[in-house]
């Protein structure tokens, strides 16, 4: 692989850029661009410019070797994307704050601690298989919901030594609402602040409160 890589720009509308394509089917749009234009392409959503990086070597450059150059898109005064859900944590922070948070979390990523997760992963996997065995022939399942349930079971059993599966009917739609809102916020340069009671904002705040209630309940139980 050469040391330089030409960035191909996706053609779009004069004002909106590629916003319509992303709003229609974002996953399909990204897949099509990678297939048709290669490992490094740029696109524009209204006034925001983005790069789609697909090659492992280029991803390594952005996330590891030149991480100081490629900063995360985070404004504490106007958070978008995952920052709306996670706040200024390890996933969204950058610079010195990220370095400090990463050092605090380092023990969690040690091999011995990661190995301790395996029993919970096995249990969650077995529970998944047990649920599927009860299904009738030809039954359909929502794979995204099933994977969310497995993930929640592993995380909560590991963090709180308890499960939240009894609350899954509340957690799953709440998470779906939060993540959909976060994704749309990246593509909407005119998004209203959360304190303005639009329908979308009310749904987001309600979903956020639902997750807070579940977490606080587990902490205090």
Can you give the pLDDT at residue 219?
Answer: 67
Under DSSP, the state recorded for 210 is H
Can you give the pLDDT at residue 215?
Answer: 79
Q: CB–CB of 148/179 below 8 Å?
A: no
- pLDDT tens-digit profile, the chain (221 residues): 445 567 889 999 998 899 888 888 888 999 999 999 999 999 998 888 899 999 999 999 988 888 778 777 666 677 888 888 888 888 888 778 888 888 888 887 788 878 888 888 899 899 999 999 999 998 998 888 888 888 888 877 777 666 677 777 788 889 889 989 998 888 777 778 889 999 999 999 999 999 888 878 776 66
**How far is it, in rounded angstroms, from Cα 10 to Cα 20?**
13
Global pTM value: 0.70
User: What residues does 9 pair with on adjacent strands?
Assistant: 42
Other Cβ atoms closer than 10 A to 13? 12
Can you give the pLDDT at residue 74?
Answer: 66
Alpha-carbon torsion angle 157, 162, 168, 173, nearest 10: -70
User: What residues does 49 pair with on adjacent strands?
Assistant: 44
Can you give the pLDDT at residue 70?
Answer: 79
Can you give the pLDDT at residue 94?
Answer: 78
**How far is it, in rounded angstroms, from Cα 20 to Cα 105?**
39
End-to-end CA distance of the chain: 54
Can you give the pLDDT at residue 89?
Answer: 81
- Can you read off the two tokens belonging to residue 210? 């639902």
Count of helix runs (H) and strand runs (E) in the chain:
10, 3
- Can you read off the two tokens belonging to residue 52? 């789609």
Q: How far is CA 71 from CA 95, 101, 183, 188, in A?
A: 8, 16, 19, 20
Can you give the pLDDT at residue 28?
Answer: 92
Of 148, 199, 141, nearest in space to 169 by CA: 148
Can you give the pLDDT at residue 126?
Answer: 94
Q: CB–CB of 37/10 below 8 Å?
A: yes
């Amino acid at each position: 692989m050469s040391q330089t890589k030409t960035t191909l720009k996706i053609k779009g509308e004069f004002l909106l850029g590629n916003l319509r394509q992303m709003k229609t089917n974002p996953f399909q749009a990204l897949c099509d661009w990678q297939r048709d234009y290669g490992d490094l392409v740029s696109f524009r959503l209204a006034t925001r410019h983005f790069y789609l990086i697909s090659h492992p070597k280029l991803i390594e450059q952005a996330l590891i070797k030149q991480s100081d150059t490629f900063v995360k898109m985070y404004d504490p005064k106007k958070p978008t994307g995952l920052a709306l859900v996670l706040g200024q944590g390890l996933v969204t922070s950058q610079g010195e704050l990220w370095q400090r948070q990463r050092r605090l979390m380092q023990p969690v990523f040690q091999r011995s601690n990661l190995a301790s997760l395996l029993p919970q992963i096995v249990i969650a996997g077995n529970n998944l298989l047990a649920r599927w065995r009860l299904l009738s022939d030809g039954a359909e399942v929502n794979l995204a919901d099933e994977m969310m349930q497995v993930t929640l079971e592993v995380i909560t059993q590991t963090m709180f030594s308890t499960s939240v599966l009894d609350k899954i009917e509340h957690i799953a739609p709440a998470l779906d609402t939060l993540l959909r809102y976060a994704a749309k916020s990246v593509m909407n340069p005119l998004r209203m602040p959360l304190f303005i009671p639009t329908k979308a904002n009310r749904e987001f705040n309600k979903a956020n409160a639902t997750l807070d209630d579940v977490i606080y309940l587990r902490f205090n139980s």
